Structure 1
Amino acid sequence: MNKLKVGMISFAHGHAFSYFQALHKLDQVEIVGIADSVKDRVSALIEEHGLAYYADYRELLEQEMDAVVICSENVHHAELTIAAAKKGLHVLCEKPLGISVDEMHEMINVCRDHNVQLMTAFPCRYLASAASAKQAVDQGEIGDIIAIKGTNRGSFPGGWFVEPELSGGGALLDHTVHVMDLMNWIVGSKVDEVFAHAANLFKEGLKTDDAGMINVKFENGVFGTIDTSWSRQSPFPTWGDVTMEIVGTKGVISVDGFAQSNELYSSAAGKGQWSFWGDNMDFYLVKAFVEAIASGQPVPISGEDGLRSAEVALAGYRSVESGQPVKL
């Protein structure tokens, strides 16, 4: 069997390292090379695995490949995706898919025009609890959904995440999209209206928001709310959480995405720690991308899925500016 040849563009986002490990574990994949303008970020991987390195992503795109994985700063997602698509390469792009609705539509259209697939990196769909909740809802176990309360409360990311010229937004953009995608997936309806709040509550002097609350109304009448804040401080055992409470007419499902963990107390660490033992959601995300491309099947999380999630966060910023709900 011919191996799927994959290149990686930018390790600016930390997920790139877990995606790399996933690709490396898959026997049907050959990693062609890494492109990153900051060589120090990837020098250890290059040396350990004997990979080709390119300071300019355009040089990587000239190589013989089937697909690329993009984990750049948010502002570069559109440029990199479009360039790869024009070379006939399938794309797995880190979230959020883009920083404007127009550029996300362009990314989707260019990929379609060049007959390549665009997948948005939403690994939370591969959390065991989220997948089980989706199955239970589809089977009617809690009746019709009335509302969903979600959280994606993270720790302060620093770096380019708080530079709006590179990130396109703060916590409201960064942490709406994961749980919003889960809600879209589970509810099966489009968001019709958005009302949001965003502020600086935890770090002084930021150019971006670090706290947010987004409320949505779906076309089918379901209501949703997500706490998107970077509110987890340094003593917290992990970087954050992904939770949902799905309220139905016949029952309620509570989802805690990272509950599969052991509690570890060590004087050496100086604080309690959670040792996660659950399924590796990043591995299953990458595996699903590779299998879809290799078999010619549609990717399970499309560019349209990425658009539907990110446009809610972007509408949230318009709602913050106006102080009013925003129609999509």
Structure 2
Amino acid sequence: MKIGIMSFAHMHAYSYSDCIMKLPNVELIGVFDDDQKRGNEVAEQYHIPFYPDQAAFLSEEMDAVIICSENIHHKEMVINAAKAKKHILCEKPIATSVEDAQEMIDICKENDVILQIAFPVRFSSPIRKLKELIDNGELGEIVAFRTTNRGQNPGGWFIDEKLSGGGAVLDHTVHMVDIMRWYVGKEVTEVYAIVDSFFHDIPIDDAGLVTLEFENGVIASHDASWSRFSEYPTWGDVTIEVVGTKQTIKVDALKEHVRLFSSEGKTLSHEFFGNDMDLGLIQDFIACVEQGREPSITGFDGLKAMQVALAAYKSSRLNEKVMIERVE
């Protein structure tokens, strides 16, 4: 299979490219980037061609593209790739508005191409194990969730609302909303949130506390932030606590590590041994394309997760609960 990357603006593009390089019978054929300096550097790093022209890139023979541009450009790139009959893995969030996301979904359907959204947390071993326990009824009836997604301030275009569409709440809410929807198979109906910049002097939100209610009465709280400073021993955390009528279980998707204490150099380090979520995501996307099946994480999944994050901003502005409009 031949795959191309559209933009390395998002840091995940490097991880996805590394994953492709590890896989047999999969070829990274080139990169399009509107930043010529970055495009040339990536081309040299991965020994692949750089295409400064998007149309020329999409005219090349390839099966699929991975889009890792600034959020605001997702719509344009998805539409162009779909019209070029390329299957698509799009970095989250799917877009910056419900209307744009729906248009992207419709265009991909019209052109009979896969649109999968990059939510790699679904491929974390402990997260998948918890899904299995829930489906088997081990926790009983699900009553509530408590989740976190806290990392470092990424800076750059992430803190420019014209390019990102939102700050930490958009960046770090969509992952966990996707997981909760996946776990219970129900939609969020109500959102109340407090969103602001608490940790950094930046022109965009760096944290939010979001409370949710699902259509089946399950309640949830989510802590989304860029609150981890550079000295923090890991990038951050992705946690979920599930409260059931039989059991309560808490999982940290990133905590597959050994804590190493040493008298030489750093006194504490984390040696990771767990599975690679990004590799799981890429392998699943490739399988979807090869088998011609529905993607595991659809454009609609991306739309619904983004819709909740956008509702959190609205709730914070209005200082009131916001109802989620139903999208079919």
User: TM-score, normalising length from structure 1?
Assistant: 0.95
Distance 2:135 2:18 in 1: 33
Partner of 1:188: 185
Equivalent residues of 2:39, 2:52 under 8 A apart? no
Query: Could you report, residue by residue, the CA deviation over 1:162-206 in whole angstroms, capped at 9, with x for unpaired residues?
Result: 0000100011101001111111100110010111111111112x2
What letter is aligned with 2:25?
Q
Distance 1:64 1:268 in 2: 52
Partner of 2:100: 103
Query: Could you report, residue by residue, the CA deviation over 1:24-73 in whole angstroms, capped at 9, with x for unpaired residues?
Result: 12212122211112243344442354311111222211111111000001
**Match among 199, 203, 208 for residue 204 of structure 2:** 208
Change over 3 Å in CA distance of 1:118–1:201 after alignment to 2 = same
Equivalent residues of 1:235, 1:271 under 8 A apart? no
Would you say how many aligned residue pairs link Structure 1 and Structure 2?
Answer: 324
- Counterparts in 2 of 1:200-279, with a 5 A limit? 200-204=197-201, 206-265=202-261, 270=266, 272-279=268-275
Partner of 1:162: 159
Distance 2:264 2:80 in 1: 47
Query: Identity, % of aligned pairs?
Result: 45
Change over 3 Å in CA distance of 1:198–1:269 after alignment to 2 = farther
What letter is aligned with 1:28?
N
Equivalent residues of 1:237, 1:271 under 8 A apart? no
Q: Does residue 40 of the first structure (1) align with residue 34 of the second (2)?
A: no
What letter is aligned with 1:256?
D
Partner of 2:301: 305
Question: 3-state DSSP class of the match of 1:77?
Answer: helix
What letter is aligned with 1:77?
H
Change over 3 Å in CA distance of 1:49–1:200 after alignment to 2 = closer
Q: 1:109, CA displacement in angstroms?
A: 0.4
Q: Does residue 11 of the first structure (1) align with residue 8 of the second (2)?
A: yes
> Which residues of structure 1 form unaligned runs of 5+?
none
Distance 1:169 1:307 in 2: 15
Q: Single out whichever of 24-33 and 133-142 deviates more from structure 2.
A: 24-33
Distance 2:269 2:210 in 1: 29
Q: Does residue 114 of the first structure (1) align with residue 111 of the second (2)?
A: yes
Question: 3-state DSSP class of the match of 1:152?
Answer: strand
Distance 1:169 1:58 in 2: 29
Q: Does residue 199 of the first structure (1) align with residue 201 of the second (2)?
A: no
- Counterparts in 2 of 1:68-87, with a 5 A limit? 68-87=65-84
Q: Which runs of 4+ in 1 moved over 4 A?
A: 265-271
What letter is aligned with 2:27?
E
Partner of 1:142: 139
Q: 1:231, CA displacement in angstroms?
A: 1.0
Distance 2:265 2:199 in 1: 24
Equivalent residues of 2:212, 2:219 under 8 A apart? yes
Q: Does residue 20 of the first structure (1) align with residue 17 of the second (2)?
A: yes
Q: Single out whichever of 249-258 and 260-269 deviates more from structure 2.
A: 260-269
Question: 3-state DSSP class of the match of 1:242?
Answer: strand
Question: 3-state DSSP class of the match of 1:112?
Answer: helix
Question: 3-state DSSP class of the match of 2:225?
Answer: coil
Partner of 1:314: 310
Distance 2:42 2:218 in 1: 46
Change over 3 Å in CA distance of 1:49–1:173 after alignment to 2 = closer
**Match among 125, 128, 147 for residue 128 of structure 1:** 125
Question: 3-state DSSP class of the match of 1:233?
Answer: coil
What letter is aligned with 1:21?
D
Q: Does residue 178 of the first structure (1) align with residue 175 of the second (2)?
A: yes
Partner of 1:294: 290
Equivalent residues of 1:189, 1:218 under 8 A apart? yes
Over aligned residue pairs, what C-alpha RMSD do you find?
A: 1.4
Query: Could you report, residue by residue, the CA deviation over 1:254-309 in whole angstroms, capped at 9, with x for unpaired residues?
Result: 11111211224567865633222100000010000001101111111111111111
What letter is aligned with 2:199?
F
Distance 2:258 2:37 in 1: 33
Q: Single out whichever of 33-42 and 294-303 deviates more from structure 2.
A: 33-42
> Which residues of structure 2 form unaligned runs of 5+?
none
